[in-house]
Every structure is written in structure tokens, then in C-alpha cells.
Chain A
Amino acid sequence: MKNIIFGIIFLGIQLLGAQEPDEDLMRVRERLDSLSSFKATIELDVDISFIKMPKKYADISYERGERIQFESDDFVMLPKRGLDFSFSNLFKYSFITVDRGFEVIEGKKYKAINIIPTDKKADFSIAMLLLDTENDRIVGSEISTKKEGTYQLSLQYASNKMPLPEKVEVAFEVERMKIPLNYMGKDIDVDKKSMREEEVKKGKIYLNIENYQIRYVE
């Protein structure tokens, strides 16, 4: 009982302290908001146990406020989550932040922050960001969406000046599939439900982004 009361008081203090958005986060957001549009070429490497796919290439383009667009000569699968390098979805609606202290990764210290949306329209329930406060950039995130599960991003940058990442690792949950299909005409009409298994698998996509053409807001 004592622990619960302390817990509630602690959370209350945390939330009270969280009313003002974090300053470091605001600087990161400002830097991301300065991007008007960008174009780049992207190399995708899918690492999902039940999918075998060669490396794929696509051109991506982003206009502020728009969904990211992509083009490719051959078939590509692009993750729905993780391509929003501007993290615009996180800042679209009102939110509060909670300081989670610092995390050390490979000898470097990063600030951990929780973002909790206060608007029901937000499509995520909570997000954790790792901030590189020296260069005002996001180096990692774990975002719990309302409909599409949780996904993690790990971002690496080519130089301290770059606002956008050079390498991104997207980790997400994906349903395992089992298809009793041999492509015979008679088996085309199959029951989709019977082909699904409950098991959820972790998948990863490695993105290498090159040839950035960035335009900033004037």
C-alpha cells in the first residue's frame, strides 16, 4: 500500500514536471521542422525470418506535411513505419514529455524522453526517444502505435551536420504466416483466416540512405 502511494506521488511529480515540453526535444523538433523537403535514394535489406528477398532500391521524396513518396523500377516492400525521418507524426498533436534520464550506448550518453500525446487523434499511445543533445538529433526511438504495434528505430548519421540519417534500422512485430499454397488453380480459393498463425515474429529492415537533396524552410 505504502509503495502504491509513493508510486502515485512519484508519477504525479513526474507528470507535473512534464507539463512543459522538454527543451532539448524542442531544439530537435525545431531542427527537423526546418526541413521543407528532401529526396534520396534508399537501399532496403529485409530481415524477416519467413521472407527471403534480395536488396532493393527505391527513390524516396518527402514534402513537409505530406506522406513520404517512393518510386522503384522493381517490386519493393517499404515499412509503413520508420520512413518518417522528420518524426512529424509525433509532433502533429499536443503532447507532454517525461524526462527518463540518460542512456549510454557505445560509450555515448543520450537523453531519454517519453512523449505522451494529450490529443486522442494522435496515432500513437507513447513514444520513447533517445536524443543526441550535442547535435540536436534523434538517434533512437520506440513508438507504440494504437493500431500498428510497437516499432523501434535506430538511426546513424553520416556527419554531425546532417539532420537526416544515413542508416536506419527499423524493428517491428509482424504476424507469422503459414500458407498451404502450391499455386495450383484448385487451391486459389483459400481461407485466409486458416492460413494465419497467432504467433508474432520480430522483423527488421535495414535502410541505407544516400544522395540526399535537402531543402530547408526559408
Chain B
Amino acid sequence: MKYLIYAEFYKLFKQAKTYYALAALFVIEAIVMFSAYYQGSTIIDVLLDNLKESFYFEGDLLNGNLLIYLILNTLWFHLPLILMIIVSGTLTSEYKDRTLQAVMMQPVSKVKFLLSKYVVATLFTVLVVLVLAITSFCLSYLIFGSGDLIVYLDTLNFFENKDAFNRLIWAFIVGMFSMVFFSLASLTLAVFFKEATKTWIISVFFLILCNLLLKVDFGNNWFNDVFFVKLNDTWQYLFYYEIDWKKISINVFLLIVYSTIFTILGINYFKKTDIE
């Protein structure tokens, strides 16, 4: 199993599209910073517009913490999309290049083979989120400095620098579980659809559907709380003034459960399907 994981890592970092996708991610990060540099004050103006009549403001809200929060918003769509493309590609390329048949001719367990892909997908996702977090913290603080964070979530919330820093770190950690869920879901989709283009289209559709359904109110019942599409905004709970840690913990636990379910589904289907 250990060697299968090594092999999967080797394959992942050997393929050029991994680097293209990662480069795309960091280009997005750079664009967010660039646009924030020019439009950040517009955001703040919009937020504080009707308060200007009653208040004087002292201090700069366009700072590193706001920038990190803006980058964190790539967790909605950009980051999971890139991760889904890379991760699903680790299996679809094996189908396409027919390396899967070659591997399956070896004395390799199908379960262990696919499980190693799921393990590598998880570790790779964690690594990408970690790198994104480190680069966004370093670049944002370096270029924009630190300061209070302003976030609009039902109310206009202000967080002091230290509090903002802690919340942003936790948001990356919690968001990581959502990203792992999407990565593993895309790998399961690759098991079902095999072909790269089909898998990517279905993955994008899955991601869009999750984002759309997140905003749909399924009523005040348990389904609204536990349906997996309702869990992907958990990282945003860190930016409510009072943090509901219980809700966050439950959501993270559910994301782990859903990720496991998708993994079991994928492995089960892969085990039962013949490799053509």
C-alpha cells in the first residue's frame, strides 16, 4: 500500500497538467490581489457608504486580512474546480493511456490501488490548501500589512487583527475538509465515467449544483442541516461574530462521513467493474 501511495504521488507530480492547474490557482490568487489593490477601496466604500454620514473612520480596512479573506473566497468555486480537474485526472488519464490495464495485470489489489489514489487525493488537497494559505498570508501581510477585518455576513462584522488572523487560519482548516470532499467526489465520478471530458463536465456540474443548492432552503428540518451541499459554507461560520463551534464541528464530522461514503462508493464500483 505504501508503495502504491508513493507511485501515485510520483504519477501526480510527473504529469504536466498538475503544474498547469497549480499555476492557474496561483494566477487566480495574484488576480484577486491585483484587483483588490485597485477595487478593494470600492468594496469598503460600499460597505461603509451609509455610515459615512454618521461616523468618522480612522484606520485602513484594505489590509492583509481583507485580502486573505478575498482569497479564501476561492474556496467557493475556483479551488474545488481546479482540484477536481487534477484529482479526477489521476484516474481518467490511466483509463485513457491504458496504464490501468498494465497495473491490473500485476499482483495489485484493485481496492488498494484505488484506495491509494483516494489517500493521495486527500494529501494533495491538504497540501494545496496549505500552500494557498501560506502564500496568501505571506503575500497579503507583506504587501498590504495587517489590520482589522471587515466582513458582511447578515451584519457588518469587525474583527481585530489578532482575532481576524485566528479566524482566517481556522477558516482554511475547515475549508480544507470541503476541498477534500470535492476532490474525493471527483475521483468517484472518474470511477463512474472513466473518460476525462465527461468526468470534468460532470464534476463541474456537481460543483455548480452544490453551490446552487447551498442557497436553497429545504425548510427547518434535519435534511437542511445534514445534506452535503449545505456543508460547504462551513468555513464561513468562522466570520459570524459569535462562532458556533458546535455547528462547525458537526459539519466537519459530516463532511468526513460524506467523503468516506463517496470513497466507499467509488471503491465498491471499481471493484465490481471489469477493466476494459
Contacts and interface: CB of A to CB of B under 8 A. Distances in A.
Interface in B47-89: 47, 49-51, 53-61, 69-70, 73, 76
B42 A74 contact: no
Interface stretch (B92-100, B147-155, B187-195, B217-225): B147-155
A52 B159 CA distance: 9
A80 B54 contact: yes
Contact of B55 (A49, A78, A195): A78
A192 interface: yes
A174 B47 CA distance: 14
Given A70-B58, A192-B46, A177 B35 contact: no
B155 A79 contact: no
Interface in B151-182: 151-152, 155-161, 163
Given A54-B158, A71-B58, A183-B43, A77 B51 contact: yes
Contacts of B160: 54, 74
Nearest to B45: A192
Given A70-B58, A172-B54, A181 B152 contact: yes
Contacts, number: 104
B241 interface: yes
Given A52-B156, A188-B42, A75 B60 contact: yes
Given A74-B161, A76-B59, A179 B152 contact: yes
- The majority secondary structure among interface residues of chain B is mixed
B21 interface: no
A174 B58 contact: no
A167 interface: no
B154 to A, nearest CB: 8
A175 interface: yes
A59 B147 CA distance: 18
B57 to A, nearest CB: 6
A191 to B, nearest CB: 10
B101 interface: no
B115 interface: no
A81 interface: yes
A74 B59 contact: yes
A196 B55 contact: no
Contacts of B157: 52-53
Contacts of A148: 53-54
A177 B156 contact: yes
B35 A52 contact: no
Interface residues of A, number: 36
Nearest to B61: A75
Contacts of B150: 75
B58 A188 contact: no
A148 B53 CA distance: 7
Given A179-B46, A188-B39, A192-B46, A74 B155 contact: no
B152 A51 contact: no
Most buried by B among A70, A183, A196: A183
Contact of B155 (A51, A75, A181, A195): A51
Contacts of B70: 183, 185
Contacts of A189: 42
A58 interface: yes
Nearest to A58: B58
Nearest to A55: B160
A118 interface: no
12 contacts: A52-B158, A74-B160, A75-B57, A75-B147, A79-B54, A80-B55, A177-B156, A181-B47, A185-B35, A185-B39, A192-B46, A196-B49
Interface of B: 31-32, 35, 39, 42-43, 46-47, 49-51, 53-61, 69-70, 73, 76, 147-148, 150-152, 155-161, 163, 241
